[in-house]
Structure 1
Amino acid sequence: MKLVNNDGQNTDLIIEGETATFKGEEYDILIHDGEISVAGHIATNNFIVKEEYIEEMVERFKSRKGNVDQYNGFAGFMLIKKEKKMSVLTGWDSIKDFTAWVESEAFQNSHVKKEQRVKSQGSDYLEAMPVRESFSVEG
């Protein structure tokens, strides 16, 4: 899949079996729910996890089955990992569907409040603030 960010920069997402190549690096796919490969829009949340919390973070995502999966336009979820780097990828039918999710109360409760706390207090789990990216899928 060819992904294009808001600045017009391209990257590929290649899903092969239990691995994914993202931004030129190979990751292990730890969770793959839904059909991210048919999405028209992909949002990512990229973070570096402190070594001692990697397994706990993976377990948290395995038990996540929450609001996002039920949201209109949601196509799929993927958690990928390479050493301490993890990325959550969510696939959406369209940017409009993704924007509706971001503006929802469920998103605000599950993401924004946590980010505000991490910014002010730091995180026991993460080495730095997560980096969000948004991509249109082309071709």
Structure 2
Amino acid sequence: MSIVIINALSVPAQAGDELEKRFAARKQSVDSSPGFEGFKLLRPVSGENRYFVYTQWATRADFENWRDQRSGAAHAGSEGKKPVAQGADLMEFEIVEL
């Protein structure tokens, strides 16, 4: 059963453009990871002020393997830059096959 991982990022209003630019620069960096099924960056519009990073994985183990293998420094800041987000909450869901 596929799972969805959503990372809710608290981003200062003036930093949204920079966050989007950084994600665009590396949007395909996870594509070849085993079990990766898709990615979306969701910009807040109404009723929410956080960005949501939506990823879909074939299994929880696939996500955990990717998370454990990636470099924390490379993920936290792009090319040595300071992180844009001021906080993050990780949420996990199973996809219900109807």
Quickly name the TM-score band, shorter chain normalised.
Answer: 0.7 to 0.9
What corresponds to 1:85 in structure 2? 50
Aligned-residue Cα RMSD (Å) equals 2.3
Q: Which has the higher contact order (CA 8 A, sep 6+)?
A: 2
> What TM-score do you get using the length of structure 2 for normalisation?
0.75
Q: Tell me if structure 1 keeps the 8 A contact 2:35–2:59.
A: yes
State the 1:61 CA deviation: 0.9
Kindly tell me the number of residue pairs found equivalent between the two proteins.
90
- Offset at residue 124 of structure 1 (A): 6.7
**4+ long deviations beyond 4 Å:** none
1:136 alignment partner in structure 2? 94
Cα offset for 1:52? 0.9
Show the 5 A alignment for 1:62-81: 62-81=24-43
Query: Which protein shows a greater Rg?
Result: 1
Partner of 1:125: 84
Using a 3 Å threshold, how does the CA distance of structure 1 residues 41 and 107 change in structure 2: closer, same or farther?
A: farther
TM-score norm. by structure 1 comes to 0.55
Q: Choose between structure 1 and 2: higher strand proportion.
A: 1
Deviation per residue, 1:37-63 (Å, 9 max, x gap): xx8111111012111111111111111
- Tell me which amino acid in the other structure corresponds to 2:36: F
* Superposition deviation, residue 66 in structure 1: 4.7
How far apart are residue 107 of structure 1 and its match? 4.8
Task: Give 5+ residue unaligned stretches, structure 1.
Answer: 1-38, 116-122
What is aligned with 1:57? 19
2:11, 2:87 within 8 Å by CA — same for their partners in 1? no
Do 2:2 and 2:58's aligned partners in 1 also have CA atoms closer than 8 Å?
Answer: yes
Q: 1:64 to 1:103 in 2, by over 3 A?
A: same
1: CA distance, partners of 2:20 / 2:92: 22
Supply the AA of the counterpart residue of 1:89.
Y
2:10 pairs with 1:48: yes
| Residue segments in structure 2 that go unaligned for 5+ positions in a row | none
**d(CA) in 2 for partners of 1:87 and 1:63?**
17
